Amino acid sequence: MKKLIKKYAVKNASKYGKAEKEAVVGKVFAEKPELKEDAQKVLKEADNVIEEINSLSKEEIEGLKEEYRYPEEEEDEERLPDLPNASEEEGVVMRIAPAPSGMLHVGNARMAILNDEYVKKYGGKLYLVLDDTPGSEEKRPMEEAYEKIPKDLEWLGIDFDEIVHKSDRVELYHEYAEKFLEKGWAYVCECEAEKLRENRKKGEECEHRSQSSEENLKKWDKMLNGGYEEGEVAVRLKTNMQHEDPAFRDRVLLRISDFEHPRVGQDYQVWPMLEFCWAVDDHKLGMTHILRGKDLMMENKMEKYMWDLLDWEHPQITNHGMMRIEGVKMSKSTSRKKIEEGEYTGWEDPRTWSLMSLRKRGFKPEAIRNFYISFGISDTDASVPVDSLYTENRKLVDEEADRYFFVEEPKEIEVEGIEDKKVAKADLHPDNPERGHREIEVEPEEGKTKILIEEDDYDEGKELRLKDLFNVRLEDGKAEIVNESLEYALDNDLDIVQWLPENDKKECHILMPDGKEKKGYCESNIEEKDQVVQFIRFGFCRIDEIVKEKVNCYFTHH
């Protein structure tokens, strides 16, 4: 365990100057998920190792890289493992298939990014298939999703070649359903749901299974022409009612769904289940490789069974483990419900964890891509701390984010002993002085001025440094200037705090990931919206709008 932690700590420190705990632990848990059972021990060991590595010089860290790298690792390691039976000469054809029942969330981004990476690696074609067959009531297609899903994918850098709507292909599915009925591979079943469950459980055939093709086609025609109500009938695939997996026994291929579709209205009443339309589409669209979660093994079985009936070649299916981001609740249907009920403000509400909300918070699409690629693709389930995602984004925004002061819970103190105007010259970025500085003026009146600091920073009798200004001693709700020396503050280990002149500030509201709002004041120097800034000692935020003397922000992360 220690060697594994040290390996990633050295690698992280070599790349970014110092090792970050979130990134190191995330990599460790991704490679060895079983270590999460003893997470506290891993975290404690990580603290010790990271402290050791970060105390080393750059040269010492570089010297350790060979020792703590696995022999098979190469400096220019592949971003993802090779796809089986794929080559750059022949290329690949792959698909991403979101359901337009809501906006894409951060979890949906994984498969889009992985498919996109592989098509870019091998060349070929990537389809965006909008899976808009009707599901349950809460998963019915949303009209606005048709426009916004492609835009979200484009923001992620996904280069899809063609958009396909399943709702445009219903007649193709009907054509193959009729073929299955003619061949005797399927039948029209009028059994009630409870009876069906009992039959599958017992492995017993119902009376409809032995119907002739002529009888099935007659009932099929009745289905197409409105002769049945929703829930009265279904087309079922004949498998084996004695199959070891009861769930595989005579599964439904098509059923009646009577609703107003946002694209085709009520043109169709008979809709395919996903397993059936994918069996048709994966062949007709020429898929060579399919990435699929291992929770969809039944879909594998069903597609292969139908491909064999049709004598079609099988695409290469790769099943991967599930990935959970700790602390993140991702559900399109739940978010949709809470938006409709007014609990969430819309799809940009940070509690949805939609891609729209991450963009609003100031996330870089490259960070989401790097996050998923860093964990690769394997058949092992993984639970990853959300801090790993934040770390990837921090690598990108830290260098470009200007620094400003924000005082959340202000305490007004009167500073005495100021004879002349003071101007604090604060760097916009501590590591890039060439970016320039901002000026914060303190204008005294009769030797006094009022300054805001954080309530938590006030401690009677305490000395502290107002960043980039001077050192003060706090007493009786006031502050007396000690001196202006930064060296004095460092030598005496004074807290260095953010502050604001009481007469030169802007009201600032920050929407947090939990939907709550934090209020305070920020510098009047903030004049540009849609930028990500870092409020010192608070975190990164995206400036959403500036209205007169008020700044509205979205919290990005620490």
Cα four-point dihedral sign 69, 73, 78, 80: negative
pLDDT at 68: 59
The reported pLDDT for the residue numbered 65 is: 73
- Tokens found for residue 82: 């090779």
At residue 153, what are phi and psi to the nearest 5 degrees? -65, -40
The whole-angstrom separation of Cα 400 and Cα 307 is 52
Given a contact cutoff of 8 angstroms between Cβ atoms, the answer to whether 377 and 520 are in contact is no
C-alpha to C-alpha distance for 93 and 267, rounded to whole angstroms: 31
DSSP label at residue 232: S
Residue 66: exposure state from Cβ atoms within 10 A (0-12, 13-18, ≥19): exposed
The answer to whether the CB of 388 falls within 8 A of the CB of 135 is no
Per-residue model confidence (pLDDT) at position 254: 97
Q: Which pLDDT value is given to residue 70?
A: 42
Alpha carbon distance 141, 261 (integer Å) = 7
Show me where the domains of the chain are located. 2-77, 402-557
Neighbouring C-alpha atoms within 13 Å toward the C-beta of 99: 13
User: How many Å apart are CA 31 and CA 9, to the nearest integer?
Assistant: 14
Type of residue found at 69: R
Judged by DSSP in three states, 29 sits in: helix
What local confidence, expressed as pLDDT, does residue 489 receive? 94
Whole-angstrom CA distances from 445 to 131, 169, 325, 483 are 68, 76, 54, 19
What span, in angstroms and rounded, lies between the C-alpha atoms of 217 and 485? 91
Q: Coil, strand, or helix at residue 440?
A: strand
Residue 191 — φ and ψ, nearest 5°? -70, 150
Distance CA 350, CA 541 (A): 13
What the block records as the tokens of 256 is 């009646």
Instruction: Look at the block and give the residue holding tokens 């916009």.
Output: 428
Nearest by Cα to 13 from 52, 41, 71: 52
- What does residue 130 show for φ and ψ, rounded to 5 degrees? -80, 110
What pLDDT does residue 285 have?
A: 98
Mention the CATH class of domain 402-557: mainly beta
Q: Using alpha carbons, select from 93, 96, 100, 236 the residue that is nearest to residue 167.
A: 100
The counts of H helices and E strands in the chain are: 16, 27
pLDDT for position 78: 57
Q: Are 392 and 485 in contact (CB under 8 A)?
A: no
Contacts of 499 (CB under 8 A, 6+ apart): 405, 407, 451, 452, 453, 466, 467, 469
Phi, psi of 426 (to 5 degrees): -110, 130
The pTM of this model reads 0.84
Which DSSP string do the residues of 5-27 spell out, in sequence order? HHHHHHHHHHHHSS--HHHHHHH
Structure tokens at 27: 């990599």
Report the alpha-carbon distance of residue 333 to residue 142 in Å, rounded. Answer: 11
CA distance 151 to 24: 33
Of the candidates 118, 114, 141, 117, the one whose C-alpha atom is nearest the C-alpha of residue 130 is 141
Put residue 20 in one of left, alpha, beta given phi > 0 → left and psi -120 to 50 → alpha.
Answer: beta
Contact 32, 380 (CB under 8 A): no
pLDDT in tens, the chain (558 residues): 888 898 888 888 887 678 888 778 878 877 776 787 777 888 889 999 999 999 988 778 887 876 654 443 444 445 788 999 999 999 999 999 999 999 999 999 999 999 999 999 999 999 999 999 987 777 899 999 999 999 999 999 999 999 999 999 999 999 999 999 999 999 999 999 888 889 989 999 999 999 999 999 999 999 999 999 999 999 999 999 999 999 999 999 999 999 899 999 999 999 999 999 999 999 999 999 999 999 999 999 999 999 999 999 999 999 999 999 998 999 999 999 999 999 999 999 999 999 999 999 999 999 999 999 988 888 888 889 999 999 999 999 999 999 999 999 999 999 998 888 999 999 999 888 899 999 999 999 888 999 999 999 999 999 999 999 999 999 998 999 999 999 999 999 999 999 999 999 999 999 999 999 999 999 999 999 999 999 999 999 999 999 989 999 999 999
